[in-house]
Structure 1
Amino acid sequence: MWAADWTLTCEKTNFVETGPYSEAVYFCRRLADTFPDARMETFGTSPQGRPMVALVIGKAAPGKPTLFIQSGIHAGEIEGKDATLMLARDILVKGKHKDLVRKARLVIVPVFNLDGHERTSPYNRINQNGPASMGWRVTAQGFNLNRDYMKLDAPEMRAMLAFMRQCGTDAFMDNHTSDGGDWQFQMHYDVPRWPSQPASLVALSEDLNQSLAKKLDADGWPNAPYFGGIDPSHPERGASISPFSPRYSHGYAAVTDRVSVLVETHVMKPYKDRVLSTYDIDMRTWEWVAAHAAELTKARSSALRADAGAKEGDKLVLSARTSRVARPWIFKGWKYTPRDSAVTGAKVSAWTREPVDVESFIRDRFEPDVTVTLPAGYVVPAEWADKVAPVLGLHGVQFSRTQKARTIEADVTMLLEPRFPSTPFENRFMPAFKTGPGRRKVTLPVGSLVVPVGQRAMRVAAQLFEPQGQDSLLAWGFFNVVFEQKEGADAHNLEPIAAKMLEADPKLKAEFEEKLKDPAFANSPSARLDFFYRRSPYWDSRLGVYPVLRASGALIKELLPS
């Protein structure tokens, strides 16, 4: 069915077309059956029943890092599939790069979003220049896999994380196509080097970042960091790079102590150039991993040991932000010639093919945003365990279950002023809220989860449980029910109680009179009654209380006596 001479559909059609997923599976199986240095792994099944396959090239060995290259997480952005299959063929069939195979193992997932890949159409990516027909951005269940790394709603993602851990992944790449404006740059990339990562890995990532820029220049590919914020009419006003949260692939790689590269070829460039430039950046990254094998494995092992030694009171940068520090940068654009539109009634962006190099600047340095003081661990009451434990297991987060019930007085996090969006995002309603301290009597039944911070997956655990985490379980709506008021008070029953409360408590009366200075409050009978309901013994003491406890070492010892 497929070519016996190892050519791919993209090559046979001069990169006008790309092949179906069955071609990628056939290609991987044939390589694995033919060459002893390769094997094909099936590590999951898509919701529509397709096998999730990977090609592993090289043998694992102590001190030998593994580079994991993933393509097709957004299945319309598919040049990574063809590029990595071509790379695998060059390694195995043509015998190239044997020294790299000895120094660094390669794991290739040609297509992550299989079902999306087979939803093929010429109309799936309006902004994209080829191939003639391409897959769809999201899965058959409608999930954007590149927003799912923390919440793990998609079965494909659950299979992928297990496989990545099984492979002992040290470095990670995710191949994409960009969206956005038009410019000369063929290739964009992002190498996380944020203060939320271990310093040793940041230093290595900085070296990789600079190496890729030089190598891509030498390969003839105009390249730039994966920037945003550029004004096409005033590029001299600069651009910036933003850090990514762990819902994204390379953001997740960062919190799992892996060096990583996000690849974004330019959407308007021909498909052939996008495939070949992806081949080159994947190849150059593999070269770097092989050349830095000892440093990389040592730095990652050291980072994981440090995470395992984390203790109560340690500071952890939970998220980063772009600093105001800028450096000179040449923006390689095209002449910008916006035109009037009768359709929109406004200007529409347009460019000629006249190259314009603009002296500008870019902000590509980072500083801490949210920093937390770590507890000794996190405690999840047993009633939430069935919802939380599977997610922890898939992330490799270690936990224990309590053997005795306890009722304790505990510091809790109060969730205040919650707001919800009007539409879902990734099948969830993500709350916005403020936090404050509280004190409550908390019951911890048998089977409550105790998650120590001192473990290799410490950074993931903190991201999941800290209320300020951008992709915490709380942020993704796992605990939305705690915002819901389940009981109410009728005015004719509450009003006599409120009157007695006013008469009996001078401090409460003074507080109420102060509130009456607010006209909106004073003119709202329901708000006035609610003031007393919230302070009465009838109020639900669990409403707005974050159920996960930030536990001290003393509490953990009490819950898990040795």
Structure 2
Amino acid sequence: MLTTLLLAALLTTGTPGKDDLKTPYEKGNGNQTATYQEAIDWYRKLDEVYDEVKMVPYGYTDSGRLLHLVIVSTDKDFDPASIKQKNKRVLLIQNGIHPGEPEGIDATMMLARDYLQDKNKRKQLDNVVLAIIPVYNIGGALNRNSHTRTNQNGPESYGFRGNARNLDLNRDYIKTDSKNGQLFHLIFRDWDPDVFMDNHTSNGADYQHVMTLIATQHNKLNPTLAGYLQKKMLPALYDGMKKDKFPMVPYMNTVDETPDKGITGFMESPRYATGYTALYNTIGFVPETHMLKPFDQRVKATYQLMENMIETVSRDAKEIGEIRAKAKQETLAQKSFPLDWKLDTTKVEQIPFLGYAAKYKPSEVSGLERLYYDRKAPYSKNINYYNTFTPTTTVQKPVAYVIPQAWREVIERLKLNKVEMRQLKRDTTLTLDSYYITDYKTGQRPYEGHYLHNSVQVETRTMPRQFLKGDYVVYLNQESARFLVETLEPQAVDSYFNWNFFDSILMQKEHFSSYVFEDLAAEILKKNPDLRQRLEERRKKDPEFAKSARAQLDFVYRNSPHYEPTHNLYPVGRLMQDVKLPL
């Protein structure tokens, strides 16, 4: 009798079936998404039930709540170094960066469970480890409402785009103003994922497709990885989604108001997720389901794309490992790096597109002509796709950067990225290349907490400079080489200079009183006939300059020893030759 009771108890307390791990989405009506707490509680239960799952708290976000990483590893190995030694691929899936676009949150919960419970699916995890960020923007997820995604068809309630500091976290990867961003860097550098997915919902035109996709821009990606992405990985994903009855199309970045005149690729700079991951030779994807499709369709399409992704990564696990290793070596050997890009409109391909006819009618609000899409007039045709970008600015890679320790906000961000740095053991004078900022433009309104610079122009001078004990020397013969170039070269789109971390150099600290400097300026001109000639030529060419006594005095001042040499001097030096340093 006792044996029978024990057997009955074991049967009732054994591994739960699928119904025991139903998600909040599955328990709802198809138009509901899990809250942050529901998602974490559910993953905690999955962790308790399966030894192959481990949920790791990485730290507190701006909201004061913990950011978790869930690892699904079928051989129960949760050490990233050990996993890499086994030559397994790591797929990092991120959800809820924009919590108003939540289908990834629900789809990934079901995906993780199903791959543990289905024997056929489980086999695909023999050489793939899933690393899942259940909800990245926790502050936004807690700010739940039913109205801010004005153009979106469900779910009934959802989170908000901004985080607890009202930052858009998909603009924060390089500047890293948020605690969320700091934690992401820790996760990303710990796990070094081979492939990254960041699930989203689109805005924009109306069309028949449920799923659109941004892949890492192939011209920006290492050529070895780009070849695999374009020729093998993307075709597999597009074919798989077509078979799953979710024909996919690239993200609708339209040339004109509607898709009819074609779409362009998305050149994601490192402020964005896939722009950042490309700096470390990780293939990145941003799936964007269509906002106007019912929520259950969007969840299903996201699930199917992740399923196709796992299948592809599992199939090509050995090849992906080999080409990533090759890409890392090629990056180390790379002599020059592009810093900015432009779209090449002469290169165009045709892609199949399922759209709706774009039409116009009088607005009931303004009485003026307005756009609408006629769902009673679907069409299928090829449209232009412009997806070739060419570099506009390129820089030669230095041997090392030398960074004064005073710029601690920059140093902190390099440390978050596990950049290898060494410090000078004594005060040292180094002759190296230095930039003077000669021109730049600045946005007139704040963007994500900054007045962002752009169109930076520099003058390079090879000159001796004094560095202090404790200043940092950062050699480029390391995995972070491309990250360093795109953050420390001021002309790069998302450089730390453009994000205002060096703005204090742009303000002159010492000045002159005109009535005092007049006599000194006259003496300087007497001793420097070349400077006098340059002054006279400037007067002839510039009538406004010729009318301004102050401007002419300033011209002499700026070309004299009295003008401060640090004004507009970019603090980071470029060491172009390998010399012995006191390290």
Superposed pair shares fold, TM > 0.5 = yes
| Partner SS state of residue 349, structure 1 | strand
Hey, what does 1:428 align to over in structure 2? 450
C-alpha distance in 2, partners of 1:492/1:18?
71
Hey, what does 1:227 align to over in structure 2? 252
1:291 aligns with 2:312: no
Equivalent pair of 1:143/1:426 in contact (CA under 8 Å): yes
Equivalent pair of 2:405/2:411 in contact (CA under 8 Å): no
Hey, what does 1:544 align to over in structure 2? 568
1:21 aligns with 2:36: yes
Deviations 1:186-207 (A, max 9, x none): 1111222433332221122112
Residue 87 of structure 1: CA displacement?
A: 0.6
| Partner SS state of residue 486, structure 1 | coil
| Partner SS state of residue 101, structure 1 | coil
- For 1:41-440, what aligned pairs fall within 5 Å after superposition? 41-58=56-73, 59=75, 60=77, 61=83, 62-95=86-119, 97-206=121-230, 207-232=232-257, 235-309=259-333, 314-323=335-344, 324-341=346-363, 343-344=365-366, 346-353=368-375, 354-384=377-407, 386-432=408-454, 433-440=456-463
Equivalent pair of 2:432/2:574 in contact (CA under 8 Å): no
Residue of 8, 20, 41 corresponding to 1:5? 20
Equivalent pair of 1:72/1:117 in contact (CA under 8 Å): yes
Equivalent pair of 1:377/1:552 in contact (CA under 8 Å): yes
Deviations 1:389-446 (A, max 9, x none): 2211111211110112112343311101343323222212222331112244411000
Residue 127 of structure 1: CA displacement?
A: 1.6
1:470 aligns with 2:493: yes
C-alpha distance in 1, partners of 2:68/2:559?
58
C-alpha distance in 1, partners of 2:528/2:150?
67
Hey, what does 2:481 align to over in structure 1? 458
Is 211-220 or 332-341 further displaced after alignment? 332-341
Equivalent pair of 1:198/1:303 in contact (CA under 8 Å): yes
Is 511-520 or 415-424 further displaced after alignment? 415-424
C-alpha distance in 2, partners of 1:199/1:376?
23
Residue 342 of structure 1: CA displacement?
A: 5.8
- Unmatched 5+ stretches in structure 2: 1-17, 78-82
Residue of 46, 49, 66 corresponding to 1:31? 46
C-alpha distance in 1, partners of 2:251/2:582?
47
Q: CA 1:49–1:104 in structure 2 vs 1: closer, same or farther (change >3 Å)?
A: same
Residue 4 of structure 1: CA displacement?
A: 6.7
Hey, what does 1:519 align to over in structure 2? 543
- For 1:488-503, what aligned pairs fall within 5 Å after superposition? 488-503=511-526
C-alpha distance in 2, partners of 1:149/1:368?
22
Residue 454 of structure 1: CA displacement?
A: 0.6
Residue of 480, 489, 496 corresponding to 2:503? 480
Residue 81 of structure 1: CA displacement?
A: 0.2
- Unmatched 5+ stretches in structure 1: none
Equivalent pair of 2:401/2:575 in contact (CA under 8 Å): yes
Q: Which amino acid aligns with 1:326?
A: V
Q: CA 1:369–1:505 in structure 2 vs 1: closer, same or farther (change >3 Å)?
A: closer
- How many residues matched? 552
Q: CA 1:334–1:544 in structure 2 vs 1: closer, same or farther (change >3 Å)?
A: same
Please, what TM-score do these two structures have when normalized by structure 2?
0.90
C-alpha distance in 2, partners of 1:188/1:55?
26
| Partner SS state of residue 553, structure 1 | coil
Equivalent pair of 1:64/1:103 in contact (CA under 8 Å): yes
Please, what TM-score do these two structures have when normalized by structure 1?
0.94
Residue 320 of structure 1: CA displacement?
A: 4.2
Deviations 1:348-403 (A, max 9, x none): 2211112023442111233334322111111112322x232221111121111011
| Partner SS state of residue 516, structure 1 | helix
Q: Which amino acid aligns with 1:229?
A: T
C-alpha distance in 1, partners of 2:64/2:305?
32
Is 363-372 or 142-151 further displaced after alignment? 363-372
Residue 317 of structure 1: CA displacement?
A: 3.1
